[in-house]
Amino acid sequence: MPTNFTVVPVKDNSKKGKNRIEEDDEDDNNVLKEEDEGATGDGVPKENSPFINNTDIDKGNSYDGTNMALFEEEMESNPMVSSLLNKLANYTNLTQGAQEHEEADDDEGPKKKAVKSPQMGTFMGVYLPCLQNILGVILFLRLTWIVGTAGILESLASVVLCCSCTMLTAISMSAIATNGVVPAGGSYYMISRSLGPEFGGAVGLCFYLGTTFAGSMYILGTIEILLTYIVPQAAIFVAEKKEDEVNALLNNMRVYGTCCLALMSLVVFVGVKYVNKLALVFLACVILSILSIYAGVIKTIFEPPDFPVCMLGNRTLQNTNFDSCLKTDFVNNMTVTTKLWGLFCDGRDLNATCNEYFVNNNVTLVQGIPGLKSGVISENMWSTYGPLGMLVENKELSSLEATDNSQDVYLPYVFNDISTFFTLLVGIYFPSVTGIMAGSNRSGDLRDAQKSIPIGTILAIATTSFIYVTCVVLFGASIEGVLLRDKFGDSVKRNLVIGTLSWPSPWVIVIGSFFSCCGAGLQSLTGAPRLLQAIARDGIVPFLQVFGHGKANGEPTWALVLTAGICEIGILIASLDAVAPILSMFFLMCYLFVNLACALQTLLRTPNWRPRFQYYHWALSFLGMSLCLALMFICSWYYAIVAMAIASCIYKYIEYRGAEKEWGDGIRGLSLNAARYALIRLEEAPPHTKNWRPQVLVLLNVDSDQGVKHPRLLSLTTQLKAGKGLTIVGNVLEGTYLTKDTESKKAELNIKSAMSAERTKGFCHVVVSSNLRDGVSHLIQSAGLGGMKHNTILMAWPGTWRQSNDPQSWKNFIETVRESTATQHALLVAKNVDSFPTNQDRLGEGTIDVWWVVHDGGLLMLLPFLLRQHKVWRKCKMRIFTVAQMDDNSIQMKKDLQMFLYHLRLDAEVEVVEMHDNDISAFTYEKTLVMEQRSQMLKQMQLSRTEREREAQLIHDRNTASHATINDKAEGGLDRVHMTWTKEKLFTERNRNRECNSNVVVRDLFNMKPEWESLNQSNVRRMHTAVKLNEMVVNKSQGAHLVLLNMPGPPSNRGGDENYMEFLEVLLEGLNRVLLVRGGGREVITIYS
């Protein structure tokens, strides 16, 4: 849909405006240079450059006009539309390697030349490079053999299958390539930016390995042509026996292949520009060779070439060691034996002993190239698969079989050098359709990459598919079947089989294919190191960063060394047929992920997914992905598994050790969609008791420098969760977000660092609130999302609440306890949390003691079980104590509890502790008295500052007598204090109370009775429970590694909050590691399956 723009001129009366516009024009001319300076370390321009937040360009261009004064502040970070459009118009994509060359030229100063704009079009930039990379060694050396072995129909099926795969991949690649500017980097850039660094790195390295092994394949093809068809005399290893010919050939391939690799690597190292200049020469060789094939096929209609094949019975003979296809010849009126006779008999005499099959069958000559009119197409329609060592035979010819065929392997027959079957041939053929990424790899050199890549790539695939289909049909219709199955042309005097068909001479194909393979090998050794260098410079694989360096001009020296080393592995394999399936795996995996990237982006409908290429669909991408996966297992299931294992290992390595990258990839979008779907499903109903696990909100405190106060809380969380479920680490800063922005970010960074150190997997949430109480309340209410909300709150016990001058600290603690009860969240409070074990500790034999006083839904039972799953607590045993009253049958309680634990599948020792209804001790009364006196003091301390100052002034004006009277009253009855407390007097009174408490045994108890009677009896009873329970816990569990205890609820009347803290302090006195547990009001453990 066309979009109309209307440009409205706006007058600016300021003279500075005119000057500023001129300065803008000068700056815009340097946009490209400044973009390069703003590039990130991974070689990719910054996301905000050159359009937004480009402060380097606009520093001197402050806005002085009046027309847009309303937007003055925004213009510091966001450009005006006119400036933006101007920069867009001047923005060009860098050519491949331009950035590296510019870095090398930085020292030249004024000599530095401007980078020329890319000028290559569709034909030269995409179509011809793709054509050169697709057509190559397999077409010239193996296609005739594939047609003869698989037959025309199955060969066509292989071609259609492989070409369909590459065509569907090209459609997906075109969509990705036209979805924005594709910088130099091609396929790796597209995959990594679409699927994320993990997939990008894994697939990028697979693509690199595929390209490297392709170099091995092309070098092996070059040496095979050289030693088999051009100069066979150059062979170093010569087989003395026929059965040693295969090993001799492989050894020759290894030696010459290594030398050729060294030579090619040296050429690439010395100057890539020579390789690029020779590319057109190599392409011309390919095109001329293909034209000669078609010309030769046409010539067979009128005059088939003379390439006879000698047959013994129905078996094909190697005619390299004899001249005439005759057993005997008539020379000078005499019958003499031929060289063929000597190969099958133990002598040249007519009465020599000969091979039985040789005696029983006649030799005949069959025309190797009968031509299109011969009707040989019907014979070549079907497959002829066989095992290793199977004779190449023509079933149409008559034959008398011998009784003993054991000596056949030593005779000059044409054999299968490998076992043949359909899937193997597909694996060998597939490399002939690779190379479709050649255009996208040159994206930096294209004038209009978004237009050229789709058109050029798809046309190249269509052209090569047509060539392959026609070649399969024409080969099957023109060449005799036994010659097609003769891989090395042994039956036609070691001529290249496809060369026998070409016109005007077989040497056209031989020389053309030789230079074609040389060029393809050089291109692979040129492209693979640059691909590795791009991956290394992205920084996603740490151990590869050394390969990102190179020569001063950016040439990847170290990457070239590694590439040559890997390429040597393929050469040592030495067999073209064994190397081809290996690189097929890596290329197929790369194509698979290109299709996956396109399908994901289409299905997720990400806002940035707007390709200019419109002829794509997610179903086509999915079909292409399925085809790639199927072809991987069709070619070789074990190679497929190995390739996938390599990719998986690289993926996991990048995930755990790689650099953090955010490229807006499709996998992240998929994760977001999956998370959204799961959250919507989770919100439909609360979790069943069987699925309940603690989803923890950890309330963490930070110090004045935003450092984490109690990191052991995170350790405890890790041990409790073992990486499962939800963990939210929350923190509250007091103030406003505008003033505490920096502190908030610093606190979040420190908390995340602590979480990483303690191996706590979860989320961090820092809230800035006007006061701490409201902030904690907001966290408890709003942390989490949908069904993924916390159900448990973990916090540290405020150990210094008695020493704190600010009562708000312990009041916040009690309010958090109340709020967790109101919101039905379970609550865990860790006392002495800094003494809890770290994740590196290993506790020895010991116990985790559970004091089950009231039923809280089973959380007390579940927590020790979860802790013991972690290696820190694994050796600890679980003990459960429950309290029996006077009316309870403790023996029956123990049996019932044991049965309950049996049904819960928990292994624990059970003990029932009897708490008798004893009289309340004097110690309890004294504790309660001290508590209430302190409570009164704290209440007095809560007077406002103005009231305290007023009271202080009144006291100063009073006479000494009245002042003494007030002091006497204070000493006489501490339970009713009616004076104003200053800070100094509070500390004096506190010390005096401590002395009284320490000497409580020596006091006269009868004199204290009046004070006891004035105490709140409810407080006395609560203190009695705390004292008695503490005695039992200390007696039984003082040596335990951890004590879990029911946490009493706070009083409904907020006036007794200080007393509540005292009760808990008495309850926990003398215990080291304690976890107070308060249930969330629901069952969390069940006896049912």
**Residue 620 pLDDT more than 90?**
yes
Q: Distance (Å, rounded) from C-alpha 862 to C-alpha 685? A: 22
**Considering only CA atoms, which of 125, 179, 135 is closest in space to residue 456?**
125
Residue 1087 · residue 904 · CB < 8 Å:
yes
What is the rounded distance in angstroms from the CA atom of residue 479 to the CA atom of residue 144? Answer: 9
Q: Phi, psi at residue 737, to the nearest 5°?
A: -65, -35
**Which pLDDT band, with edges at 50, 70 and 90, does 13 fall under?**
very low
Are 299 and 365 a contacting pair, CB within 8 Å? no
Q: How far is CA 56 from CA 101, 102, 411, in A?
A: 23, 20, 80
Distance CA 626, CA 644 (A): 15
pLDDT score recorded for residue 1004: 40
Question: Which is it for the CA torsion 800, 802, 808, 810, positive or negative?
Answer: positive
Q: What is the pLDDT of residue 466?
A: 95
- Identify the pLDDT of residue 893: 84
What pLDDT is stored for residue 78 in this prediction? 53
- What lies within 8 Å, CB to CB, of 21 at 6+ separation is none
d(CA 460, CA 464) in angstroms, rounded, equals 6
Q: What is the pLDDT of residue 984?
A: 52
Binned at pLDDT 50, 70 and 90, residue 669 comes out as: low
* Percentage of the chain modeled with pLDDT above 70: 75
Contact yes or no for 721/696 (Cβ under 8 A): yes
Q: What is the pLDDT of residues 153-176, one digit of tens each?
A: 999 999 999 999 999 999 998 888
Q: How confident is the model at residue 662 (pLDDT cuts 50, 70, 90)?
A: low
Say what angle helices 143-177 and 186-225 make with each other, to 10 degrees: 160
pLDDT per residue as tens digits for the range 763-787: 999 999 988 889 999 898 888 887 7
Mean predicted confidence (pLDDT) in 597-604: 85
Mean of the per-residue pLDDT values for the chain? Answer: 78
pLDDT at 114 over 50: no
- As a three-state string, the secondary structure of 724-754 is CCCEEEEEEEECCHHHHHHHHHHHHHHHHHH
Mean pLDDT across 971-976:
39
Sheet holding 308-312, edge to edge: 315-316, 308-312, 363-367
Mean pLDDT of 911-937: 61
User: 982 pLDDT exceeds 50?
Assistant: no
- How far, in Å, are 146, 150, 163, 379 from residue 157 at the CA level? 12, 10, 10, 18
pLDDT for residue 808 is more than 60? yes
Q: CA 286 to CA 279: how far, in whole Å?
A: 11
The pLDDT assigned to 14 comes to: 45
Assigned token pair, 228: 């088999």
Phi-psi region of 911 (alpha: psi -120 to 50; beta: other; left: phi over 0): beta
More confident residue, 1025 or 186: 1025
Higher pLDDT, 72 or 1035: 1035
Tokens of 270: 């010395």
pTM of the model: 0.68
Q: Which residue, among 517, 578, 579, 520, has the nearest Cα to 227 in the 3D structure?
A: 517
Stronger pLDDT, 487 or 1004, i.e. the higher one: 487
Residue 631 pLDDT > 80: yes
Higher pLDDT, 399 or 158: 158
Measure the CA–CA gap between 431 and 577, rounded to whole angstroms.
Answer: 11
Q: What confidence category does residue 131 fall into, taking pLDDT thresholds of 50, 70 and 90?
A: confident
Q: Is the dihedral of CA 298, 301, 303, 306 positive or negative?
A: positive
pLDDT value for 72: 47
Average pLDDT over residues 405-411: 84
pLDDT tens column, 877-895 = 999 998 887 777 788 888 8
**Higher-scoring residue by pLDDT: 315, 889:** 315
**What pLDDT, on the 0 to 100 scale, is given for residue 151?**
94
pLDDT at 101 over 50: no
Question: What confidence tier does 213 reach under pLDDT thresholds 50, 70, 90?
Answer: very high
So what's the pLDDT on residue 148?
93
Whose CA is closest to 798, among 789, 790, 807, 787?
A: 807
Is the confidence at residue 458, as pLDDT, over 90?
yes
Ramachandran region, residue 334 (left: φ > 0; alpha: ψ -120 to 50; beta: rest)? beta
Is residue 30's pLDDT more than 80?
Answer: no
The more confidently predicted of residues 364 and 79 is 364
Distance of CA 868 to the CA centre of its chain: 32
pLDDT at 477: 94
Band (283; pLDDT cuts 50, 70, 90): confident
Taking the C-alpha atoms of residue 339 and residue 326, their distance in angstroms, rounded to an integer, is 9
Average pLDDT over every residue of 472-476: 94
Q: How confident is the model at residue 400 (pLDDT cuts 50, 70, 90)?
A: confident
How do residues 1003-1033 score in pLDDT, each as one tens digit? 443 344 444 454 556 677 777 778 888 888 8
Q: Name the residue among 853, 920, 915 with its Cα closest to residue 882.
A: 853
CB 289 within 8 A of CB 140: yes
What is the reported pLDDT for 767? 92
Which of the given ranges, 48-52, 222-226, 395-399, 1031-1035, has the highest pLDDT on average?
A: 222-226
**Helix or strand or coil: residue 186?**
helix
Q: How far apart are CA 215 and CA 590, in angstroms?
A: 17
Give the residue carrying structure tokens 């001058």: 805
Q: Residue 865's CB: how many other CB atoms inside 10 A?
A: 16
The more confident residue out of 106 and 791 is: 791
408 pLDDT band, cuts 50/70/90, is: confident
Element (H, E) at 848: strand 846-852
Spatial separation of the C-alpha atoms in residues 727 and 722, rounded to whole Å: 11
pLDDT, mean of residues 851-868: 84
What integer pLDDT is reported at residue 917 of this predicted model?
A: 60
Predicted confidence (pLDDT) at residue 12 exceeds the cutoff of 90 = no
| pLDDT at residue 978 tops 50 | no
3-state secondary structure of 1038: coil
pLDDT digits (tens, 9 = 90+) for 726-747: 899 999 999 998 888 899 999 9
Give mean pLDDT, residues 630-644. Answer: 90
The distance of Cα 643 from the centroid of its chain, to the nearest Å, equals 16
Query: In the chain, pLDDT over 90 holds for what percent of residues?
Result: 23
Please report, for residues 250, 559, 922, the alpha-carbon distance to residue 993 in angstroms, rounded to integers and kept in the order given. 98, 79, 16
Among the listed residues 173, 179, 237, 235, the one whose alpha carbon sits nearest the alpha carbon of residue 207? 173
Confidence of residue 798 (pLDDT cuts 50, 70, 90): confident
Q: For residues 162 and 631, is the Cβ–Cβ distance under 8 A? A: yes
Task: State residue 62's pLDDT score.
Answer: 44
Work out the pLDDT band at 59, boundaries 50, 70, 90: very low
State residue 383's pLDDT score: 92
pLDDT tops 60 at residue 492: yes
User: Of 373-387, 441-455, 598-612, 939-953, where does mean pLDDT reach its minimum?
Assistant: 939-953
Residue 50 scores a pLDDT above 50: no
Whether residue 929 is predicted with pLDDT greater than 60 in this model: the reply is: no
Name the 3-class secondary structure at 620.
helix
Of 193-207, 570-584, 911-925, the poorest mean pLDDT is in 911-925
Enumerate long-range contacts of 74-82, CB under 8 Å, 24 or more apart: 77/52, 77/53, 78/52, 78/53, 79/51, 79/52, 79/54
Q: How confident is the model at residue 118 (pLDDT cuts 50, 70, 90)?
A: low
CB distance 58 to 48 below 8 Å:
no
Specify whether the backbone of 913 is left (phi greater than 0), alpha (psi in -120 to 50) or beta. beta
Q: Which residue has the higher pLDDT, 371 or 1009?
A: 371
Predicted pLDDT of residue 149: 94
